[in-house]
Chain A
């Protein structure tokens, strides 16, 4: 009886460990909006869309708006839980292309210069990121 119990427990442990292995690597950070600014007014912002949506945080956001047309316009904006704000804009059709890669669960980051002009937009997809629930 004792031996039977041990076998069952071993099988259960094996099943649990296999299940964990199948789950895949997960991003373990908070994924919250992070904003860094320099004395010049330039800076960067980043955040994980799925993590932000799923978190209990109430005020943070990050995103970019794209207005298409003869003069395309991109506006990126972010707000952290520590009440930092970031905003940049650009008329670059090239940077606007980056927004086509944005999905609901990506890591989005952007940087801007001292004139408030967005000078990079980064979109990262990863199996490690949490989806919006």
Chain B
């Protein structure tokens, strides 16, 4: 990410609003490829607005980290020989490019099919969930953006009760 800028006009405007409402506002935005953060705050005691960290789920893309040949011991450091008595921890495996490509094709097919039907059902969500963790980060972004564009343009109407996935 590149540096952070600060919009003086935005800050002044937000400060006026914030001062009148006793609020703290934080904007994060991308403007012309530049990351911009803008804040305006009036002090709020922490007991009034407890800071709650965002829920971070386990990184599904972590399995895409290249581990090389020494997957359990670290590169260049010989480790103990695996013992048949000790349970071996599952080593993250590099994705098979052929399988990843096939998963991407199936994921796109799920989205294509839903767009053709003009609706996103629970079955579509389940089918995409089945594939999404097998995708490379780039392929995952591609699929999700296609879904997003279709939803935002009204070409795809979610028929699920909760969030799409």
Q: Report the Cα distance A71→B48, complex, angstroms.
A: 34
Which residues from chain A contact B75 at a C-beta distance below 8 Å? none
Q: Report the Cα distance A83→B157, complex, angstroms.
A: 9
Q: Report the Cα distance A127→B44, complex, angstroms.
A: 8
Q: Let me know if A116 and B61 touch, CB within 8 A.
A: no
Q: Report the Cα distance A41→B26, complex, angstroms.
A: 25
Check if B84 is an interface residue, CB within 8 A of chain A.
no
Check if A54 is an interface residue, CB within 8 A of chain B.
no
Sort chain A's interface into a size bin.
35 or more
What is the distance, in angstroms, from B36's C-beta to the closest C-beta of chain A?
Answer: 9
Sort chain B's interface into a size bin.
35 or more
Report which of B22, B35, B49, B64 forms a contact with A71, defined as CB distance below 8 A: B64
Q: Report the Cα distance A128→B61, complex, angstroms.
A: 39
Which residues from chain B contact A101 at a C-beta distance below 8 Å? 26, 51
Q: Let me know if A122 and B25 touch, CB within 8 A.
A: yes
Which residues from chain A contact B30 at a C-beta distance below 8 Å? 92, 94-95, 119-120
Q: Let me know if A116 and B149 touch, CB within 8 A.
A: yes
Which residues from chain A contact B52 at a C-beta distance below 8 Å? 102-104
How many residue pairs between the two chains, A and B, have CB atoms under 8 Å in the bound complex? Answer: 154
| Known contacts A97-B37, A125-B44, A126-B23, then 10 further A-B pairs from the complex at CB < 8 Å, ordered by chain A residue | A25-B21, A69-B60, A70-B59, A75-B165, A89-B141, A98-B28, A101-B26, A102-B54, A119-B29, A127-B44
Q: Let me know if B144 and A89 touch, CB within 8 A.
A: yes
Check if B50 is an interface residue, CB within 8 A of chain A.
yes
Q: Let me know if A92 and B163 touch, CB within 8 A.
A: no
Q: Let me know if B24 and A125 touch, CB within 8 A.
A: yes
Which residues from chain B contact A69 at a C-beta distance below 8 Å? 59-62
Check if B57 is an interface residue, CB within 8 A of chain A.
yes
Check if A55 is an interface residue, CB within 8 A of chain B.
no
Check if B86 is an interface residue, CB within 8 A of chain A.
no
Jot down 21 A-B pairs with beta carbons below 8 A, ordered by A: A64-B54, A65-B163, A66-B54, A67-B61, A68-B56, A69-B62, A70-B137, A73-B61, A73-B141, A83-B157, A85-B157, A89-B141, A102-B52, A114-B149, A116-B147, A116-B152, A120-B27, A125-B24, A126-B22, A127-B23, A128-B21
Q: Report the Cα distance A24→B149, complex, angstroms.
A: 42
Q: Let me know if B26 and A98 touch, CB within 8 A.
A: yes
Check if B151 is an interface residue, CB within 8 A of chain A.
yes
Produce 1/0 per residue, A77-104, CB < 8 A to B. Answer: 1010001011111011111011111111
